[in-house]
Amino acid sequence: MGEELHLARQVLLKTWRSYAGPVAPARHVFIGPPGSGKTTVLCKWLTQTVLIEGQKAKVWRLDGAQANLAESLSVHGEILGIPVHRAWKAQPQGGETQWIDLPGVSYQNTGALEQLSRELARLQPVNVHLVLNAAYTFPLLMAQIKGFARLPVSDLIFTHVDEERSLGKLWNFVLGTNFPISYLAGGQNIPGEFVKATPERLFPALT
């Protein structure tokens, strides 16, 4: 049994696609279904970047097909001393990281996805992070990924990992999609749990 687990580990490690990190300039936008935790992920990552890494940041909370009602982002920006802008105006980067929050979109809403595609084109160059709830079922998550795959997604971020008993199911998205898994997030606390995804975290039984 031990040898079989070792062989399985070696096979899975060969399929792992490491996230290369954000493409310069460091501008991030978070997309995904409503309620997947996009704004919380932004706040977690922003907090690490500003408080731990000591980097400068600019933040936007933009409307999309629907109004962006994430007031928590504006409150968090105030706590960090970072203004949260409500209208996009491309600005040359002076060494700061730029963060953009958009309202959630259903993967089944073709019109909203088309509008989101136009919005992402306006924000280029940008790293597009697809944020998904790890506690959802595999069929639903795969349907969501396929729905958003028409957009220039750079990677997957899974939230609610504290609510999912077996993260091993996330290997399905390593094997069944072309997107790397970059980060794992859990809980509502900020900064809270927000860590880089690794093979060992997805399949601890094989470490």
CATH label of the domain that carries residue 86 = 3.40.50.300
| pLDDT of 52 over the 90 cut | no
Split into its structural domains, the chain has a count of 1
The beta strands (E) that lie in the chain are given as 27-31, 57-61, 84-85, 97-101, 127-133, 155-159, 181-186, 193-196
Confidence tier at 189 by pLDDT (50, 70, 90): confident
**Domain assignment present for 84:** yes
Residue-range definition of the domain harbouring residue 124: 24-206
- HSE-CB at 74 with a 13 A cutoff on CA atoms is 8
Band of the pLDDT at 195, cuts 50, 70, 90? very high
Q: How would residue 8 be classed by pLDDT, with cut points 50, 70 and 90?
A: low
User: Which pLDDT score, from 0 to 100, does residue 206 have?
Assistant: 44
Query: How far apart are alpha carbons 100 and 108 in whole angstroms?
Result: 23
Give the pLDDT band (50/70/90) at residue 13. Answer: low
Tell me whether residue 174 is in a domain: yes
pTM confidence score? 0.88
In a domain, 3, yes or no: no
Rounded-to-integer distance, Cα 143 and Cα 140, Å: 5
CA pair distance 173, 180, nearest whole angstrom: 8
Indicate whether 130 belongs to any domain: yes
